[in-house]
Chains A and B, each alone.
Chain A
């Protein structure tokens, strides 16, 4: 199946024989596994895009006998729902990816941190896990996976807050450094990877790094699963080759009246129609963890922005000042401008504030509030003011 404007790919959901791949992995040198993933240029699919091979190698190089693999399945970014589908369709591949990671870094224990709303998946995952553990026994490999359920806080998708949550504490991001590969879960070297990233490593180990690199661009190799929603006749989950422009994406998925696409969810960027052509979806342009939300001309971008700010005001963990108070100021600020209590120049002050939030916040949440805010205010100023 191929789209007219975008290239569809079927790697993530492809049925594979995990036993075969694992058999191969178990015979490999851990450092070679890291190298293979490094050679593929795979970058994390959760949104931040850290090179996966590098992460694994960092964890591999740590001498601590106890290390952890964590699968981040907290999928909380508004507008993304691809990990749910992956876990539903090919859970075995996710566990297989964790086993590869475990082999690469030398971990004996793994956790899947599952979004609370995905509780319904647990019976299925547990059943698969039973098979998986049996397989591990056959390979004489004592890697074990446990599932932990989130409780609905968006911040717990942030890696260090996620660790805190697994440890039974309040989900608040930690100071970095130290980074997870040095001191992660329970203070031990940890590789934390997104669901989709782990599945990609399975395919890389199956087909090789060069096969993975055949797709995508220099900065954004391979394919990616997108969650398409909003004003589109074709909402859903699509695995596409990276490197397309927003224009190509809109040609494929738009309803003919698309005025903006929010790439990367609430923490991502809003791309207006005039920039569709020049903007590449990927690490060289606008990166995304998968969320693609289309807005047509019936939508008020003020409402869109208000909705995002409302979301952040509630979902900030609250510990650091720029994020906790900054979100409230941005929200109340755009309301004041809309009401006319503050003049349009106040928006400039808010943009400056958003810059401070980006620079001074403790974690990725506060640092990325400015993305949506800046790009919506810059491109749809009149919709905010009038």
Chain B
């Protein structure tokens, strides 16, 4: 333990603690900009500088470990002068047209300049807006360098959490900027559109591409029938954006709000999550059969999930040789979109061209996914617009809906029924758990041998998790699986996905089934979720997801009545002809930059 004083108050902290955390212990908040709980220390912005009595220069509180006997002042004259200078310097090269910025009111730089009452322009304006263009080429991410304060949070996110390195620092001195390979647009580089950079950008330099007006136009067009689907993770995040504590489940209020916004039908992505389990589970069993019974050497195992579009683009760029291993199932969003423009208008007796399909996602990569050329199996764009959780909150605010006073409402039908298995798609390990609940039962006729169906081995926050289930006493047609230990691996965050795939590639890890979610924590930590994010917040959202699962009457995908219904009335059987046409897809090998 190390003893030191913060503003004259003694504090004892473990060795290695930063001054920032030591001060927190004495309830002194030191302002920060480049610091982020999820990322390594940078010490770039210098807004957290503090004075050490007897020291010549100021210390960056976020980057300096405590030492015995240190006497730290967090608000001395020198500190205040330096801090104000730093904020003014940042503002002098920042496009501070705040009222027109999407992050107005949620910008960390704006908050700081407000806190420090930065008034008159003391320093010269360095920014020449003519030199900046906004990169809007990506359907997911908008990058506006004129608002960038070079804190490098995005660069560290892309490198440390995602291992993608699409964003990097280029040039030096006054020309230093956050750039991409050869300064190409975000649409042309290895970017997976995961949006984790957006979640950590303190200003409006990185935001999602916003499609609010397009959605409003559709809703307010009487000739259009607008259906909306909501992803599992949205219901445990949306509340944060509307002033509620992290971890609050707002499913019923969200449905009520969506109806008030004017959507013609409020439906649930969980329905197609359950459908995904049927298709993907069957696909896995089919691959296992080909490998174990038919001894077909061309079968690609392990099979990996395909729900996360960030993961898909990552594997297309980084491990294209493993594309045959990726499940051919479309993601739940895209299955929903395809059905929203085929099955749905057929049942509801609508003209497909009048149906507009909107999805609310915790994700920015879903915007890209919806725009993939493969995603038009209905003959139309299957999902017309994708909004993030944050954008939905914005719509609710724009419509003047008192969200917190709303009575809970229920999803519409058809395609609105869901199960606990569909809900847990929102957490890392959830797809694996849902798949096991169904596959095990299909094969053995019994429920998975875990208390309350909770397969805790695949849950958690470790980057890579391995679990296995022993399959015994199979039904006759699955007898080839008797005694097989089904091995599964789960990874979240692309840096962990890379680790996992490298282990598979080297032969170090032999498994049958792999779930990868591009974002830390899974979709609940997605790039479209409320800001801020950190491990504590993600844990609360995770707890909410599993609580939602426990609260559901049905918790297994194959028992979803609407799923049973759609196979009977429309699809036939899993992996059948119609499924193949509407619910499955293929992938594209991409280059590594």
On A, residues with C-beta under 8 Å from B are 153, 155, 170, 172, 175, 177, 312-322, 324-329, 332-333, 336, 349, 352-353, 355-356, 358-362, 367
Contacts and interface: CB of A to CB of B under 8 A. Distances in A.
A356 B86 contact: yes
Given A320-B45, A333-B124, A327 B173 contact: yes
A355 B84 CA distance: 13
20 contacts: A153-B172, A175-B60, A177-B65, A316-B174, A319-B150, A319-B176, A320-B46, A321-B149, A322-B46, A325-B90, A327-B174, A329-B124, A333-B123, A336-B124, A355-B81, A356-B81, A356-B82, A359-B58, A360-B86, A362-B46
Contacts of A327: 173-174
A322 B89 contact: yes
Contact of A317 (B57, B86, B123, B176): B176
A172 B82 CA distance: 22
Contact of A325 (B47, B126, B175): B126
B171 A318 contact: yes
B122 interface: yes
Contacts of B150: 318-319, 321, 324
A325 B92 contact: yes
Contacts of A332: 124, 126
B85 interface: yes
Given A332-B126, A360-B82, A362-B60, A316 B169 contact: no
Interface in B72-128: 78, 81-82, 85-86, 89-90, 92-93, 122-124, 126
B454 interface: no
B64 interface: yes
Given A175-B60, A353-B123, A358-B57, A324 B82 contact: no
Nearest to B152: A319
A235 B81 CA distance: 43
A352 B172 contact: no
Given A175-B43, A322-B46, 15 more contacts: A155-B172, A316-B174, A317-B172, A318-B171, A318-B175, A319-B152, A321-B46, A321-B47, A321-B90, A321-B149, A324-B173, A326-B89, A353-B85, A356-B82, A360-B49
A325 B89 contact: yes
Interface residues of B, number: 38
B401 interface: no
A329 B169 CA distance: 22
B325 interface: no
B44 A320 contact: yes
Q: Is the contact region of chain B dominated by helix, strand, or loop, or is it mixed?
A: loop
Nearest to B124: A332
A321 to B, nearest CB: 5
A361 B60 CA distance: 9
A349 B64 contact: no
A314 B57 contact: no
A355 B171 CA distance: 26
Contacts of B65: 177
Contacts of A320: 43-46
Contacts of B174: 313-314, 316, 318, 324, 327-328
B6 interface: no
A287 to B, nearest CB: 14
B196 to A, nearest CB: 21
A365 to B, nearest CB: 10
Contact of B78 (A177, A315, A319, A359): A359
Given A314-B172, A349-B122, A359 B92 contact: no
A306 to B, nearest CB: 15
B281 to A, nearest CB: 45
B124 A359 contact: no
B39 interface: no
Contacts of B89: 321-322, 325-326, 329
A177 B59 CA distance: 10
B490 to A, nearest CB: 31
